[in-house]
């Protein structure tokens, strides 16, 4: 039987961190999908949970599971958010955004008391930016000029497309996937990117993760805490 690493990590995260009465942030993407399904099982058992969705897609899946969704502006905090990541370094710094929801994910993470990340061990890196690109969300207006400014940061910036046309985020923006030859100082780069006119935000999630649940090919799961 094939082991579903994403499902194993997601279900452990929910079982370890979600308690009755909590406000829970629901991530976006193929790994977070299994966490949403697990939260739905808890609701079916009688857990009273309010959840904040990080994307239109997540909200749709949650409602199919009869999960109560509330607007982020209607809560004063989120007890725990469970989400995936594209890269995780030894200090639990992250790159996120390949699922296209980095802006809403970062807003939700910022008000979460705990940010629990679920990954398989293929997402672990010694240095951020060594495996995949760094997503950067930008305004449509002047986005080609924004691309030029992004590439001054020593990356190759590629406009994300879907079915041959530019991908549009839930916020109505574009994403440039920026390929670096490793990111030596993510905190410095985050500042450099966010001061570029036209940049909305970037996929560096720094000092946000409090725990990471990691599944391995042999079916084992381990947890690393900040």
Segment 107-146, tens digit of pLDDT: 999 999 999 999 999 999 999 999 999 999 999 999 999 9
The three-state secondary structure class of 23 is: strand
Average pLDDT taken over every residue of the chain: 96
The rounded distance, in Å, linking the Cα atoms of 143 and 164 is 17
Tokens of 42: 């808890």
10 touches 215 (CB < 8 A): no
The angle that helices 5-17 and 30-44 make with each other, rounded to 10 degrees, is 50
Given this model, what pLDDT does residue 95 score?
A: 98
The rounded distance, in Å, linking the Cα atoms of 61 and 18 is 18
The three-state secondary structure class of 165 is: strand
The rounded distance, in Å, linking the Cα atoms of 117 and 120 is 10
Residues whose CB is less than 8 angstroms from the CB of residue 157 and which lie 6 or more positions away in sequence, other chains included:
136, 147, 150, 151, 176, 177, 178, 179
Select from 41, 118, 93, 103 the least CA-distant residue to 72.
103
pLDDT digits (tens, 9 = 90+) for 66-89: 999 999 999 999 999 999 999 999
Domains and CATH numbers, the chain: 5-125+206-217 (3.40.50.1360), 134-200 (3.30.70.260)
The rounded distance, in Å, linking the Cα atoms of 176 and 33 is 24
* Catalytic residue (one of 59, 87, 105, 190): 105
The whole-model pTM stands at 0.94
pLDDT digits (tens, 9 = 90+) for 175-199: 999 999 999 999 999 999 999 999 9
Q: Would strands 50-53 and 87-88 be described as parallel, antiparallel, or unpaired?
A: unpaired
| Catalytic status, residue 59 | no
């Amino acid at each position: 039987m094939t082991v579903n690493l994403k499902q194993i990590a997601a279900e452990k995260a929910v079982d370890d961190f979600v308690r009755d009465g909590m406000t829970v942030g629901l991530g976006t993407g193929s790994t977070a999908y299994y966490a949403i399904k697990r939260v739905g099982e808890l609701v079916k058992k009688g857990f009273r949970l309010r959840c904040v969705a990080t994307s239109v897609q997540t909200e749709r899946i949650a409602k199919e599971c009869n999960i109560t969704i509330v607007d982020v502006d209607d809560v004063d905090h989120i007890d725990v958010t469970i989400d995936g990541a594209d890269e995780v370094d030894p200090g639990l710094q992250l790159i996120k955004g390949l699922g296209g929801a980095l802006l809403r994910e970062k807003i939700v993470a910022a008000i979460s008391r705990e940010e629990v990340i679920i990954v398989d061990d293929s997402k672990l890196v010694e240095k951020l930016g060594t495996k995949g690109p760094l997503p950067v969300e930008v305004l449509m207006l002047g986005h080609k000029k924004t691309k030029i400014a992004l590439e001054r940061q020593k990356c190759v910036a590629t406009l994300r497309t879907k079915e041959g046309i530019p991908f549009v985020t839930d916020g109505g923006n574009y994403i440039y996937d920026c390929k670096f030859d490793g990111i030596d100082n993510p905190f410095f780069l985050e500042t450099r990117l966010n001061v570029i006119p036209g940049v909305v935000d970037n996929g560096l999630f720094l000092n946000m993760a409090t725990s990471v649940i990691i599944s391995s090919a042999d079916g084992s799961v381990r947890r690393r805490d900040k």
